[in-house]
A and B are shown apart, each in its own frame.
Chain A
């Protein structure tokens, strides 16, 4: 692969109650992280259909980050657990679509974990830089 500096583009699906609030907290705390993520607010991580993830990854996203409440803290009781099960299915789909597993990540980020959100975005950005652009981009 060419040694060309590329900036990965990450689409984030953040649940309104924990993770979106956590990302907001990173802001209020002025925790700096790479500007590579674009967040789509959803009510619950459990509402994110696998198609949305695969669609993003095949339409130009280098990675998709899905964040929900920690198990036991879901605003909707257990939507995050549904998301967790679905993530397993997404992992399998990645293979079918010829995508590396690093391109999709599910993380639990609470409303008080602004630092964690920033760290996850940084880690994922770095990992995707290592990995190179999405195979769908060529």
Chain B
């Protein structure tokens, strides 16, 4: 278990050479400068800073140590800058707050003074010392000394790093041709980037193609998205791949190698960024509320398809049931848009009742309706039988439909949506609450659907005889999202939707650079939101493509091909696909894709991989330094 000491001396070249900046680690030229910050009284009040400074001066290779009242103030920064030049420092340590907030500031000062920023090291003696040991000045002072000593040990082994510039291909792959993907593609194309839009169906438009009317808009869904589709189809910068899927993706931001598979043939496309806009599906509530058993129990989307294709059977009493399969019934989440969609459809039915019921003179399909869109979406075939004569609700009074919306609570969020709710109430649409413990039941009674429910206010069981029951089911992630997630190495959450990098601050990014997500692929959203997200991803993707290059962090893995045996353990353990095997059979790190987690290095059985700036030797030296004198 004994770790051999690294004999890092480079004999023969030390004496005669002038002290170059920066020096090789282990050479005689190390000139470490340490700045211990009082941070006013934040550190100085709980740690004996002068004693830490005096102690620091005794450490090997430390040629300069001083206290600063506020290191981050302009005069503090100037003193660091000046000392680097005056004392020819080639390693700099600031012992103060935390590298997470102040690291870049002090690294910047080093660069200004001509020192590579990777030769800077931090000792955290405020957040992790003075502020947490406020009643133990002696112990806190000893700990601060240990932390500074550990930083000195690491600094002695630091080597300068070059940040690599990697070109970015100004071309984007948009996966999914729904409103989100269309918006993203158009925006990028408008910015003069090439776009490859991949759609697995034979038409663009996505889920919106199923829809009939839209809320917050006079036009139908079709009229609304047609211009978007037309512009995409005719745009010179957009290549549309219909009936296509992404077969394979490798590479990293700026240089993704993708394969687009269309009708059995495949095409290689190199892109700089990727936008996921794969959308969602409607949950099919098999077995719930008589769905699949009774013909006139349909989902919201099926209801819209029936309206759109003028195939809605004659109905008078219609019951909508909200939260079917969501919010704990099967899926845990709230699909958020179904309340307003049910209200939209209830209002639509109320307003267009005469037209929909064929009283406007238009021809009506009466029997054995088979709507191709529905049929294709469902596993079994449904017959919307409104039998001729056979007890169909033909004699429904044409005064208007009677609509009841069974709900747990109506969530018409936002100012505009609440207007719909108020309008629905004014138009006498009934809202009846149910609780998850007491859900309505749907059974057949003659030619009607009997909805039995418990009236929470009247505290009695009641029955509604309806001609049609419409189930509001959630949007669910398509099953192929998991496959795409693996292919792109981006996460999906518990419910199968893609998971953003940060729920608040980076809602359309992934932790993996260069890949973005928009629309219902990341969770239930309406058209407005999907379009906004689509435009958002276009803007995010445009940043590296417009700049033309990315600057890769120098905290990277490095493989020593002399030691590597090509076992491939690192390849399997890299979460980013940033290591590949060369033709010579050794591992190779793709610098632009490497994020510097170091999992490969710690897994390599041959220790052939070094994590720059966090080498095992550096970490070991820190550990030893902390434990100095402990045995």
Contact = CB atoms under 8 A, between A and B. Distances in A.
Contact of B626 (A38, A43, A54): A38
A36 to B, nearest CB: 8
B599 A38 contact: no
B627 A56 contact: yes
Interface in A28-81: 28, 30-33, 35, 38-44, 46-52, 54-56, 58-61, 72, 75-79
A9 B630 contact: yes
Contacts, number: 153
Given A9-B630, A40-B150, A35 B623 contact: no
Interface string B548-591: 00000001000000000000000001011000000000000000
A28 B150 CA distance: 23
Contacts of A46: 597-599, 602
Given A32-B132, A58-B1, A97-B1, A11 B597 contact: no
B132 A75 contact: no
B444 to A, nearest CB: 45
A35 B136 contact: yes
Interface string B602-630: 11000000010010100110111011011
B630 A60 contact: yes
A9 B627 contact: yes
Contacts of B602: 46-50, 82, 86
A66 to B, nearest CB: 11
Contacts of B599: 44, 46-47, 76, 79, 82
Contact of B623 (A28, A59, A79, A82): A59
Contact of A27 (B127, B619, B624): B127
A72 B575 CA distance: 13
Residue from the set B100, B598, B614, B624 with the largest chain A CB neighbour count within 10 Å: B598
Contacts of B139: 35
A13 B1 CA distance: 19
B21 interface: no
B126 interface: yes
Contacts of A77: 489, 491, 511, 575-576
A20 interface: yes
B132 to A, nearest CB: 5
A118 interface: yes
Interface stretch (B140-148, B215-223, B467-475): B140-148
Contacts of B3: 51, 55
Contact of A118 (B132, B555, B573, B598): B132
Given A35-B133, A38-B150, A56-B623, A79 B616 contact: no
Contacts of A9: 626-627, 630
Contacts of B380: none
A33 B1 contact: no
Interface string A1-39: 000000001010100100011011111101111010011
Nearest to A30: B131
B325 interface: no
A49 B616 contact: yes
Contact of B128 (A27, A32, A136): A27
Contacts of A33: 132-133
B623 A11 contact: yes
Interface in B14-35: none
A40 B619 CA distance: 7
B555 to A, nearest CB: 6
Given A40-B150, A47-B611, A55 B1 contact: yes
B433 interface: no
Contacts of A82: 573, 599, 602-603
Nearest to B599: A46
A38 B143 contact: yes
Nearest to B573: A82
A48 B1 CA distance: 15
Contacts of A51: 1, 3, 616, 620
B98 interface: yes
B128 to A, nearest CB: 5
Interface of B: 1, 3, 98-100, 124, 126-129, 131-136, 139-140, 142-143, 146-147, 150, 489, 491, 511, 555, 573, 575-576, 595-599, 601-603, 611, 614, 616, 619-620, 622-624, 626-627, 629-631
Closest 9 CB pairs of A and B: A47-B598, A60-B630, A27-B127, A76-B597, A77-B575, A60-B627, A46-B599, A27-B131, A44-B597
10 contacts: A24-B127, A27-B129, A28-B127, A38-B150, A39-B147, A44-B599, A52-B616, A77-B511, A82-B599, A82-B603
Given A47-B611, A61-B630, 7 more contacts: A9-B626, A43-B555, A46-B599, A52-B620, A59-B631, A79-B597, A82-B602
